[in-house]
Amino acid sequence: MNDNAYYGRYGGAFIPEILRATIKDLERIFDAARSDDTFWPEFSGLMSSYSCRPTPLTFAGNLTGHFSGARIYIKREDLNHTGAHKINNVMGQGLLTRRMGKNRVIAETGAGQHGVATATMAAKFGLDCTIYMSKTDVLRQRPNVFWMERLGARVIPVTSGSRTLKDAINEAMRDWSAHMDTTHYVLGTACGPHPFPAMVTYFQSIIGEEVRTQILKSENQLPSRIYACVGGGSNAMGIFSAFLADDSVELVGVEAGGKGLETGQHAARLCADGARAGVAQGYKTYFLQDADGQMKKTHSIAAGLDYVGVSPILSHLHDTRRVRFTAATDDDVIAAMELAMQKEGIIPALESAHAFALAFKEAPALSGDEIIVINQSGRGDKDIFTIADAFDDPKWKSFIIDHAAQYHA
Amino acid sequence: MNDNAYYGRYGGAFIPEILRATIKDLERIFDAARSDDTFWPEFSGLMSSYSCRPTPLTFAGNLTGHFSGARIYIKREDLNHTGAHKINNVMGQGLLTRRMGKNRVIAETGAGQHGVATATMAAKFGLDCTIYMSKTDVLRQRPNVFWMERLGARVIPVTSGSRTLKDAINEAMRDWSAHMDTTHYVLGTACGPHPFPAMVTYFQSIIGEEVRTQILKSENQLPSRIYACVGGGSNAMGIFSAFLADDSVELVGVEAGGKGLETGQHAARLCADGARAGVAQGYKTYFLQDADGQMKKTHSIAAGLDYVGVSPILSHLHDTRRVRFTAATDDDVIAAMELAMQKEGIIPALESAHAFALAFKEAPALSGDEIIVINQSGRGDKDIFTIADAFDDPKWKSFIIDHAAQYHA
Amino acid sequence: MLESYLRKRLENKKILTMTHMVMGYPSFEVSAELVDTMVAAGVDLMELQIPFSEPIADGPVILNANQRALATGATVAKCMDFAGRMADTHKIPFLLMSYSNILFQQGFGPFTRAMAVKNLAGAIVPDLPPEEGADYLREMGAHQLAPIFIFSPTTPGDRMTYLDSVARGFVYCVARRGVTGTDTEFSRSMDTYLARCRRHTRLPLAVGFGVTAKKDVDFLVDRADIAVIGTQTIRLMETKGMGAVGDFLTALT
Amino acid sequence: MLESYLRKRLENKKILTMTHMVMGYPSFEVSAELVDTMVAAGVDLMELQIPFSEPIADGPVILNANQRALATGATVAKCMDFAGRMADTHKIPFLLMSYSNILFQQGFGPFTRAMAVKNLAGAIVPDLPPEEGADYLREMGAHQLAPIFIFSPTTPGDRMTYLDSVARGFVYCVARRGVTGTDTEFSRSMDTYLARCRRHTRLPLAVGFGVTAKKDVDFLVDRADIAVIGTQTIRLMETKGMGAVGDFLTALT
Ligand SMILES: Cc1ncc(COP(=O)(O)O)c(C=O)c1O
Ligand SMILES: Cc1ncc(COP(=O)(O)O)c(C=O)c1O
């Protein structure tokens, strides 16, 4: 494949021959769109009339006071239509799907946010839609499944493999191999074969571009640090990309520390031992794998971070040390979420709460002149079943029990 | 009370003596804020940095094509932080609470949106918070109760009366009578004693002001009709108020038709027989009441519309015929919701879907030169338990049953 | 005239007692028995509440009594009949207590006319301040009925003066913030408050608070003219029966 | 050399058969028995798949076989041993089939050296196109191993020519869109497609599709050189046992 498919040692397009023409086609369409002056305005116009871009950059006065360190700002991707940054990428790919003249889209989803976003885009663009979602995630993100179906999508629970996000990706690839003439695969994160990492980053870069304008306007100064959670890496690349050239801005990617890095039950590919470069799902990157190259089981309380690979662009930025990678455990995340809710009245998604957890840990050590920005990639409503269980809420339990009893009657 | 407390025959402040000084104080603080040139910019600045105002006015191209009548626009209050227009009023009253130097807020809530918004505001402003919610609504809007509690609010289920919104208002009034020195009552809709109808309308008028600017910018023409659902009347007054002086703009308020006006199981106070002027909950308006003046039971699939009274301002606009009132049944609403989801990828709250239902019914008869605007007052995520039941979704049922089984184990 | 009745009565008694009840709770029969019991125990006047579905000034005990009365079929007509019968049977004055909407739906004219015909003395309508009550005041005046108004600890002096100017019979002083049925501390501030009330009206003062014993009534002697016993008798009737109500009231007076 | 073996074999047979199996599924013992059965039934060459956790080019049947093999302890080392034993025991050529990461983690050098030592003939790696496989091609070449590449119905002519230039042994033509294990219709368009494949390579053509009967194999005569039987034998083994596999293959050849 061509050179721009690689980021240092990572990236590429390790795909079955059957998909090659399609991927090449997508690359061509994407390149044409990117160099068409009308395309970005069309995209950002759509995002401001259908979703609510630019999303606000909220000053978190209470958290700033609480930690009495850096001034804390929160980028509010949770306010997007469908509740997360995923819609940015999806609407962009929707425009490309239209340019390709295809009438069907497929997608994988973990947290369900990408699935809901894709189902939404499909409704808006009048496309057929099939969503692959691991059985585990169908269970833990049931509300999102319900909405996908109501939006007109077919949701297929994937029971193969480790039943997490990667297995949903494999299934989507298999579907694509059979139906690429009519079907575009709307990959949900900055992973997969070229041109997906570049394309998803391109659409998500709207986040960082806005942050740059917003922070310069309100503070006339760049932030010292930017925190983003890292699943596949799309929200992180989205907010980081506008600051890559600014050496003074430290970029911090927060992975899923799960039950603790030492337990092996996590999804930390860049900040923990146990991940190595490898090739799977169509691209080369750091994967959590055993000596033979078989992918390991991952764990995170956040379905959207429970993934074995990571954006090849981030792998490269890891090796070059431009981005610092670290992890937050499930417990850190619940605590951070609680604090964010009670201090600022915001409800981060479990994924996003990873970024909050690290920012909270580090904010006190910074000075009051410094600014940090946390990317709130999504809202936590979708996580109610998980969070209610994490808080072990007795009223929620009896509500569910009563509700179930009605169904038995 | 003073003249500006009345709208034609409606309004006033029918309150126990113990609350009089507090209400007078609130009136004074509100009047001072309203005539302070810095106040509105402070308010709208807060709404644009904490929520995402201006919210978009989305052109619904697919629905327009589907009905091939008027051009349909949707005002996206669902994109607000906490998911509905309620936050506009609440943040405004938060600013007033701060001006009054009080450290506690209370509120009633039906759909839970106003409760979540108030709990959110209380977290952001550092206030104690108690929410009164009827037992019926605690059950049908459980997710919102969960979030209120996580945001740090106390939620008190009200078991008196008919266990709907009105009973929650009564309880909040009782609390206020005891604690008004420290406590502000954040009434959630354009009802209650003066100055609440005026004050809530004032804060919600941000909706209509934006719509006016937006539609003139995109179409250079005013809409022919504007549709809003009517519970207490705050989202309706919010969008209508900017167009009251434009005779060419027909304003349509959609009440809860419940199981059909003929069944008596509804909450239509202005478009059905059976409501008369009366006095309750501190103000004079149309109430659904029996010959003795006892309030009737109401019914709506949408908790936020299940209310026995209505804004005195709307009662007046009803009598003067400036606003046309009509109703949508529970069944109409589910059908409208489904169509909105599948055609445009948006998920209106059950309340908002009432406005959609009427717009869908009437759009085909208008010409393609005409514009209609639907106020999407909130998003439907909160309604998942109700909607899943309305669609009788077997997968949702088995999910809930399985989840309950875990708790028994 | 209610006021003159009270003044006369006060010549022989240091303090009067007024009791309250919700008509039709738990039934009109029991209500009638309750009135008999109260009169026999020596109360000087009574408030008869017409139940309303939205009694915002009442706490849980009276709220529940309102709801139960309505649920078991109490109507305004039945209540008016009942109140008339009581006024005919017993020598003491009876007041109606209810909320604005009950009067509004009957019409202030018809309502007050009926009150006059049935020999009722006056009315307490907690959600009808004089500013909203021009029609009410006119009709009450036309029928020589006493509109009772309320002073509260948050009522400023000039407003007390204004309320006094429209009130007839007596002034009802609520002793504390909150709805009916919560306990009040007897305190210095109560002293100051009642003195302030006294300064601002020429009418007798009734004071409502959680009276549970003779000493509570005694506390009010010289400070006020009428002790109001509200929630406590309902509680007693509910938990210990009619006999306990009679014993309680007899011990107080 | 694989190609010359195939050409030689084709002198006596109108069409050859290649079978596929996942090593270690359901166990290495059964895998060995399966190879014996297949060789006895007359197959001409075999693909031995090293299981991988993410086999994106495989359909449900082979996917499941991969997972089961891994779950019951198949490792790359055991698979290499097994493949070596088969190549030593049986006269036909054996190819390895797996995914990029398996080779990548061993290193292309060590992996291909091991293949050579164990007398394996070549490899099929569906997610390793030549553009990503410079190291692979170099090492395969150095050890005289045949890197098998794939033509698909979506592959343009110029790319077929390019693939032909790096391929050795034969070209694997997938007969339709989709992953392994879905049925294909025999149609005119297949004719056209195979003719196009033939035009673009000097190598023998293998064709994989849902072969279930002798007539399917017969269809390929003159159109291709090798009929590939993949999913069907796994299905047979799972549902009817080893004997059925032997009978099925014997009837085909
Ligand atoms: C809210 C939210 N944040 C973050 C992620 C992680 O994905 P990414 O790393 O691509 O941003 C997800 C994935 O579903 C998500 O839903
Ligand atoms: C989304 C939504 N729309 C409408 C309403 C009705 O209230 P109002 O008539 O005051 O807008 C509610 C009330 O809770 C609501 O949550």
| Nearest Cα to Cα of residue A168 among A231, A226, A120, A121 | A231
Residue whose CB lies within 8 A of the most ligand 1 atoms, among A108, A116, A140, A189, for a mutation test: A189
Higher-confidence residue: A391 or B39?
Answer: B39
Centre of ligand 2 from the C-alpha of residue B225, in Å? 20
d(CA A345, CA B222): 37
A343-397 residue pLDDT tens: 999 999 999 999 999 999 999 999 999 999 999 999 998 889 889 998 888 989 9
Amino acid identity at C224: A
Encoding tokens for residue D217? 């194999």
Q: How would residue B1 be classed by pLDDT, with cut points 50, 70 and 90? A: very low
d(CA B259, CA B262): 8
d(CA A386, CA B403): 11
Contact call for B279 and C99, based on CB within 8 A: yes
d(CA D117, CA B274): 94
Q: How would residue A53 be classed by pLDDT, with cut points 50, 70 and 90? A: very high
Encoding tokens for residue A153? 């999508």
Contacts of D204 (CB under 8 A, 6+ apart): D3, D6, D7, D10, D169, D170, D171, D225, D226
- Could you tell me the CATH number of the domain that includes residue D167? 3.20.20.70
Q: State if residue B229 touches ligand 2 by the CB under 6 angstroms criterion.
A: yes
Sort out which chain B residues have CB atoms less than 8 A from C128's CB and list them.
14, 279
CB burial readout A99-128, b (16+ within 10 A) else e: ebebebbbbbbbbbbbbbbbbbbbbbbebe
Do B and D count as touching (3 or more CB pairs closer than 8 A)? no
> Is B284 annotated in the active site?
no
Is the pTM value of this prediction over 0.90? Answer: yes
Q: State if residue B84 touches ligand 2 by the CB under 6 angstroms criterion.
A: yes
Encoding tokens for residue C70? 């309505």
DSSP H helices in chain D: 2-12, 28-40, 60-71, 76-89, 100-106, 108-117, 134-142, 157-166, 188-199, 214-220, 231-240, 242-252
Question: Domain residue spans in chain A?
Answer: 21-47+85-196, 54-83+205-399
d(CA D206, CA B151): 65
What is the mean predicted confidence (pLDDT) over B373-385? 94
Average pLDDT over all residues of chain A = 95
Query: Residues in chain D, how many?
Result: 253
CA–CA distance from C216 to each of C207, C229, C252 (Å)? 11, 11, 9
Q: State if residue B352 touches ligand 2 by the CB under 6 angstroms criterion.
A: yes
| pLDDT in the model for residue A154 | 97
Q: Does B143 touch chain C (CB under 8 A)?
A: no
Q: Does residue B89 have a pLDDT over 90?
A: yes
Q: Does residue B247 have a pLDDT over 90?
A: yes
CB B384 within 8 A of CB B143: yes
d(CA A295, CA A315): 17
Q: State if residue B235 touches ligand 2 by the CB under 6 angstroms criterion.
A: yes
What is the mean predicted confidence (pLDDT) over B147-158? 97
Phi then psi for D121, rounded to 5 degrees? -95, -30
| pLDDT in the model for residue D140 | 98
Residue of A79, A83, A142 with shortest CB distance to B399 = A142
Catalytic residue among A86, A102, A284, A382: A86
Which ligand has an atom closest to residue B107 CA?
2
Substitution target in B127, B142, B219, B350 with the highest count of A β-carbons within 10 Å is B142
A138-171 residue pLDDT tens: 887 888 999 999 999 999 999 988 888 899 999 9
Residue B1, burial from CB neighbour count under 10 angstroms (0-12, 13-18, 19+)? buried
Q: Does A134 touch chain D (CB under 8 A)?
A: no
Q: Does residue B209 have a pLDDT over 70?
A: yes
Q: How would residue B144 be classed by pLDDT, with cut points 50, 70 and 90? A: very high
**D42: containing domain:** 2-250
Do C and A count as touching (3 or more CB pairs closer than 8 A)? no
Query: Residues in chain B, how many?
Result: 409
| pLDDT in the model for residue A3 | 63
Contacts of A33 (CB under 8 A, 6+ apart): A39, A95, A96, A99
D203-243 residue pLDDT tens: 999 998 777 788 889 989 999 999 999 899 999 999 999 99
Chains interfacing with A (3 or more CB pairs < 8 Å): B, D
Q: State if residue A351 touches ligand 1 by the CB under 6 angstroms criterion.
A: yes
List, edge to edge, every strand of the sheet that includes A275-280.
Answer: A6-7, A10-11, A283-288, A275-280
A289-321 residue pLDDT tens: 999 999 999 999 999 999 999 999 999 999 999
Chains interfacing with D (3 or more CB pairs < 8 Å): A
Average pLDDT over all residues of chain B = 95
C30-61 residue pLDDT tens: 999 999 999 999 999 999 999 999 999 999 99
| pLDDT in the model for residue B141 | 83
| pLDDT in the model for residue A1 | 41
**Which residues of chain D fall short of a pLDDT of 50?**
none
Asked if A21-47+85-196 and A54-83+205-399 have one fold, the answer is yes
B213: Cα separation from own chain's centroid: 22
CATH code of the domain made up of A54-83+205-399? 3.40.50.1100
Q: Whose CA is nearest to atom 12 of ligand 2?
A: B304
Contact call for C178 and B178, based on CB within 8 A: yes
Q: How many domains does chain C have?
A: 1
For B21-47+85-196, which CATH class? Answer: alpha beta
Residues of C taking part in catalysis: 47, 58
Q: How would residue B409 be classed by pLDDT, with cut points 50, 70 and 90? A: low
Contact call for A345 and B124, based on CB within 8 A: yes
Contact call for A56 and B50, based on CB within 8 A: yes
| pLDDT in the model for residue A140 | 76
Q: State if residue B197 touches ligand 2 by the CB under 6 angstroms criterion.
A: no
The distance of B20 to chain C (nearest Cα, Å) reads 8
Contact call for D178 and A18, based on CB within 8 A: yes
Contact call for B21 and C154, based on CB within 8 A: yes
Q: Does residue B161 have a pLDDT over 90?
A: no
| pLDDT in the model for residue A382 | 86
CB burial readout A329-345, b (16+ within 10 A) else e: bbebbbbbbbbbbbbbb
- The pLDDT tens digits along chain C (253 residues) read 899 999 999 999 999 999 999 999 999 999 999 999 999 999 999 999 999 999 999 999 999 999 999 999 999 999 999 999 999 999 999 999 999 999 999 999 999 999 999 999 999 999 999 999 999 999 999 999 999 999 999 999 999 999 999 999 999 998 877 776 665 565 678 889 999 999 999 999 999 877 778 888 998 999 999 999 989 999 999 999 999 999 999 998 7
What is the mean predicted confidence (pLDDT) over A188-217? 98
B253: Cα separation from own chain's centroid: 12
Chains interfacing with C (3 or more CB pairs < 8 Å): B
Encoding tokens for residue A327? 């992890």
